[in-house]
């Protein structure tokens, strides 16, 4: 422990900029001076900017994340347009694949001319289903064309999703997984057409309206294929009824957050007992896996329900639903009438977006998803300076040291638990900017004139890549975010925190700004991701990444009591229009915010070496630290997008990520002289504190 303390004292005195600050890192003109910081700090920091920057018609929300995302998309556009114009690119090279994929996406005339023709082979397969065996064969075939997990949730034509993943109890091994979604907190589901299982069962007016809109949406898509209007309407109602049955056993989002609740390793015999009417051996053979392959079934009750639907529903119903799901997954990549109808339901009805984004933006997103490492490698080479990685590494180590100090000085943790916690913190790997190794796309063929087939080929290639990992040692290299992504993530199973190049820019990270701004912005993000290793889910994994209890019984109870404070806080927050967060659903992210900001503040104070920070633009260093934090969360939402976020996402609404966190921070209260009774101050007895 003494050696550790000496290490801390050394690294925390390193400043981020290494020079006199050139700018404060904040923008007073974006603030609302008419709002008191102790009343509504979020509005105080962001009000001026929000008044001048309404949500664009093409967006469901607008703030620092979306602005920087669009800036990065402009950069990837430059790369992709250059690739598409390069006639000298070697056939089979990443440059050729990026250029031709992008060109095929931009050629909307060719896409429109093909209509629904690209789906005819799928429709023929579905029409040929005349027995349970035929149905089994079709469902197995569709597993090979599933959209892989990654920057977005995976999707499949079928009632479950076969993929790969780390074995939670043996973290060095990759096993097969059967899931409904990937569990990473992303909005969406792999098997259902509405955003989440609760959309099928809630009885409030908005939920009923969404279901009616879905039936109309399904009917419209079917009409576009030539189905008569009355028959399309009937099928729309039947599709909703079928999916309601399928959704019934699906676990709520909050329940999926418990890694122990989704760990059910099984062999072939157990799978057959669970779903005896599905041909599991053929599925394993079709994807190239031996029958001895162990499979982690995340939701056994869903698989049971799938089996009952195999025998209880008519083949007509199954054919209808499979045809619908084929259309639903393909619609964004088909002719304009299909893409427009998909946009209307997914983006306008569910998220409030008023108009479609420019085509180049859509194509940039598709390439970022489906050729992520090829585009990511080009993006990093052109736009990510090595100096940013070095400076970011310094900051991460400062945050790690501050977190170690928090654990060491915790008054409620017993020595054995502290030892295990620090051991895990020391084992934590950090990846910055881009992965250590880029994925090989040599087996993926991309052509210039077939957009849908390119998307399908990328999905098949991605699924093959995922399945190929099963039974092999974990490589710990693959990322679930792309380098241009404006975000970061933490994996407790892999004991790693990842910071893509895309987020390492203002207002999150600025090498020319004062340290207070950087610690308050990217420092809080770093602390947040480190904190996930110790949140209600991450804390169940040990220093090797194994799902293994390393807590004393008494300490675990104390920890759970402290996290219950955060659950209660978010359950009681009124976000307007009668809406509230589900405290258990957002707990992990809320803990990351609270713990992350606390650790970032400690790290910043240590970096000052006991000296006061500078006063810049009329604000003290502490004030600028908290202003920078709140600026990061200066996102405003359309009402529909707000509801979608609350219903389907593990992350709290941005406004309350700032407000709720700061209500628990005495350091913030001192910086702005807030007093008990002010809206920004929770009563002392109810303030939440982790360590």
DSSP symbols for 324-339? HHHHHHHGGGS-HHHH
Q: Are residues 170 and 296 in the same domain?
A: yes
**Stated pTM of the model:** 0.93
Distance CA 452, CA 465 (A): 20
Q: Are residues 125 and 46 in the same domain?
A: no
Look-up of token digits 């799902």: 547
How many other C-beta atoms are found inside a 10 Å radius of the C-beta of residue 678? Answer: 16
Helices marked H in 189-299: 205-224, 229-247, 253-256, 268-274, 280-286
- Cβ pair 52, 71 in contact under 8 A: no
- Of the three residues 333, 351, 378, the one that is the final residue of a domain is 333
- Cβ pair 523, 604 in contact under 8 A: yes
Does residue 352 lie in a domain region?
A: no
- Cβ pair 217, 345 in contact under 8 A: yes
Q: Are residues 152 and 234 in the same domain?
A: yes
- Cβ pair 546, 170 in contact under 8 A: yes
- Cβ pair 290, 321 in contact under 8 A: no
Q: Are residues 58 and 199 in the same domain?
A: no
CA 634 to chain centre: 19
Mean pLDDT, consecutive 10-residue segments, the chain of 691 residues? 28 38 84 97 98 98 98 98 97 98 99 98 98 98 83 77 94 95 59 95 97 99 98 99 98 94 97 98 96 96 98 98 97 98 98 98 97 98 94 96 96 97 98 96 97 97 95 90 97 97 95 94 98 97 98 98 98 92 98 98 96 95 98 98 95 98 98 98 96 92
What pLDDT does 23 receive?
87
Does residue 610 lie in a domain region?
A: yes
167: enclosing H helix or E strand: strand 161-167
Q: Are residues 158 and 250 in the same domain?
A: yes
Does residue 47 lie in a domain region?
A: yes
Distance CA 95, CA 377 (A): 11
Q: Are residues 158 and 18 in the same domain?
A: no
Distance CA 581, CA 603 (A): 30
What pLDDT does 153 receive?
59
Q: Which residues share a beta bridge with 498?
A: 431, 489
Structural domain that includes position 518: 2-63+387-435+483-686
Backbone angles phi, psi at 485, to 5 degrees: -65, 135
Distance CA 336, CA 317 (A): 28
- How many domains is the chain partitioned into structurally? 2
345: enclosing H helix or E strand: none
Does residue 49 lie in a domain region?
A: yes
| Prior bond of 507 cis (ω within 30°) | yes
What pLDDT does 151 receive?
44
- Cβ pair 345, 71 in contact under 8 A: no
Tell me the two tokens of residue 274.
């669970």
Contacts of 107 (CB under 8 A, 6+ apart): 449, 451
Tell me the two tokens of residue 423.
């051991």
- Of the three residues 333, 351, 370, the one that is the final residue of a domain is 333
Torsion of CA 676, 677, 681, 685, to 10 degrees: 60
What pLDDT does 188 receive?
56
Tell me the two tokens of residue 57.
């018609």
Does residue 6 lie in a domain region?
A: yes
What pLDDT does 85 receive?
98
Report DSSP state, residue 523: I
Q: Are residues 488 and 617 in the same domain?
A: yes
Q: Are residues 286 and 416 in the same domain?
A: no
Q: Which residues share a beta bridge with 155?
A: 147
Helix, strand, or coil (residue 175): strand
End-to-end alpha-carbon separation of the chain, Å? 18
- Of the three residues 333, 353, 374, the one that is the final residue of a domain is 333
What pLDDT does 194 receive?
96
Q: Which residues share a beta bridge with 295?
A: 176, 266
Look-up of token digits 């007016």: 205
CATH of the domain at 639: 3.40.390.10
CATH of the domain at 327: 1.10.1380.10
Distance CA 445, CA 257 (A): 37
Q: Are residues 48 and 161 in the same domain?
A: no
- Cβ pair 494, 474 in contact under 8 A: yes
- Cβ pair 616, 624 in contact under 8 A: yes
What pLDDT does 183 receive?
53
């Amino acid at each position: 422990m003494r050696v550790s303390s000496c290490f801390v004292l050394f690294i925390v005195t390193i400043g981020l900029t290494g020079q006199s600050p050139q700018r404060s890192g904040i923008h007073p003109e974006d603030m609302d001076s008419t709002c008191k910081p102790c009343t509504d700090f979020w509005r105080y920091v962001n009000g001026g900017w929000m008044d001048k920057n309404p949500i664009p018609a093409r967006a469901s929300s607008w703030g620092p994340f979306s602005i920087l995302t669009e800036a990065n998309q402009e950069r990837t556009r430059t790369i992709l347009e250059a690739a598409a114009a390069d006639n000298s690119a070697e056939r089979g090279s990443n440059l050729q694949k990026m250029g031709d994929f992008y060109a095929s996406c931009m050629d909307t005339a060719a896409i429109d001319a093909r209509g629904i023709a690209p789906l005819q082979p799928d429709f023929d397969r579905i029409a040929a289903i005349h027995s349970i065996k035929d149905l089994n064969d079709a469902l197995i075939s569709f597993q090979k064309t599933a959209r892989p997990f990654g920057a977005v949730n995976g999707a499949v034509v079928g009632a479950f999703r076969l993929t790969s993943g780390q074995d939670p109890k043996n973290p060095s091994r990759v096993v097969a997984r059967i899931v409904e979604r990937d569990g990473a907190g992303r909005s969406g589901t792999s098997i259902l057409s509405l955003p989440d299982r609760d959309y099928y069962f809630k009885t409030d007016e908005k939920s009923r309206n969404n279901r009616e809109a879905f039936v109309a949406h399904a009917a419209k898509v079917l009409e576009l294929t030539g189905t008569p209007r009355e028959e399309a309407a009937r099928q729309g109602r039947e599709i909703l009824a079928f999916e309601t049955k399928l959704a019934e056993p699906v676990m709520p989002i909050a329940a999926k957050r418990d890694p122990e609740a989704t760990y059910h390793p099984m062999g072939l015999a157990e799978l057959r007992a669970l779903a005896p009417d599905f041909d599991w051996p053929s599925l394993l053979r079709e994807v190239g896996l031996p029958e001895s392959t162990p499979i982690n079934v995340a939701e056994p009750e869903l698989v049971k329900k799938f089996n009952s639907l195999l025998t209880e529903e008519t083949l007509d119903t199954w054919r209808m639903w499979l045809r619908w799901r084929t259309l639903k997954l393909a619609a964004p990549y088909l002719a304009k009438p299909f893409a427009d109808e998909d946009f209307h339901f997914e983006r306008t009805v569910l998220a409030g977006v008023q108009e479609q984004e420019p085509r180049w933006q859509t194509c940039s997103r598709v390439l970022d998803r489906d050729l992520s490492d090829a585009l990511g490698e080009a993006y990093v080479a052109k736009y990510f300076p090595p100096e940013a990685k070095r400076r970011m590494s310094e900051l991460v180590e400062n945050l790690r040291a501050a977190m170690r100090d928090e654990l060491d000085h915790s008054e409620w943790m017993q020595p054995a638990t502290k030892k295990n916690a620090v051991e895990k913190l020391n084992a934590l790997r950090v990846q910055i900017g881009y992965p250590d190794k880029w994925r090989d796309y040599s087996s993926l063929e991309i052509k210039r004139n077939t957009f849908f087939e390119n998307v399908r080929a990328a999905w098949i290639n991605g699924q093959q890549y995922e399945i190929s990992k099963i039974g092999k040692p974990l490589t710990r290299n693959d990322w679930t975010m792309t380098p241009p992504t404006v975000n970061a993530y933490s994996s407790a199973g892999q004991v790693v925190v990842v910071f893509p190049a895309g987020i390492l820019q203002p207002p999150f990270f600025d090498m020319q700004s004062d340290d207070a701004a950087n610690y308050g912005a990217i420092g809080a993000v770093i602390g947040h991701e480190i904190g996930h290793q110790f949140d209600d889910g991450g804390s169940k994994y040990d220093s090797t990444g194994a799902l293994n209890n390393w807590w004393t019984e008494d300490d675990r109870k104390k920890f759970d009591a402290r996290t219950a404070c955060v659950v209660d806080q978010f359950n009681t927050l009124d976000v307007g229009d009668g809406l509230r967060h589900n405290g258990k659903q957002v707990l992990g992210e809320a803990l990351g915010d609270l713990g992350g900001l606390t650790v970032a503040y400690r790290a910043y104070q240590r970096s000052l070496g006991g000296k006061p920070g500078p006063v810049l633009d009329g604000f003290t260093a502490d004030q600028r630290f908290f202003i920078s934090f709140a600026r990061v969360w200066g996102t405003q939402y359309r009402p529909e997008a707000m509801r979608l976020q609350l219903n389907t996402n593990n992350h709290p609404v941005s406004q309350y990520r700032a407000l709720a966190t700061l209500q628990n921070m005495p350091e913030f209260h001192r910086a702005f002289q807030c007093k008990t009774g002010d809206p920004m101050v929770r009563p002392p007895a109810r303030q939440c504190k982790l360590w």
